[in-house]
Amino acid sequence: MAQSGRGRAMDDDTRELVAQLFTRIGMIMEDASVTALSVTGMDQEERGTALVELGISTRRISALVESAGSLLG
């Protein structure tokens, strides 16, 4: 069955959105990796802050992965 022009456009839009989600995931991972790799040189308070930041990044990544998965069905 041939896809309508609207169906193809929706698929293109979905692919673009998924690509944007994965790009954002990669950007968050990149930033988080810098924080994670810097922990050894931090004092106790800075390590606590880093853990909070890494937790936030983890939750953001998880939400974006879930969103991408929903779109990919």
Q: Average pLDDT across each block of 10 residues of the chain; the chain has 73 residues. List them in order.
A: 60 94 98 97 97 98 97 90
d(CA 3, CA 17): 20
CA neighbor of 38 nearest in space, from 25, 23, 54: 54
- pLDDT of the residue at 31: 97
pTM: 0.82
CA neighbor of 26 nearest in space, from 53, 50, 60: 60
- pLDDT of the residue at 3: 56
Token digits for 62? 């998880």
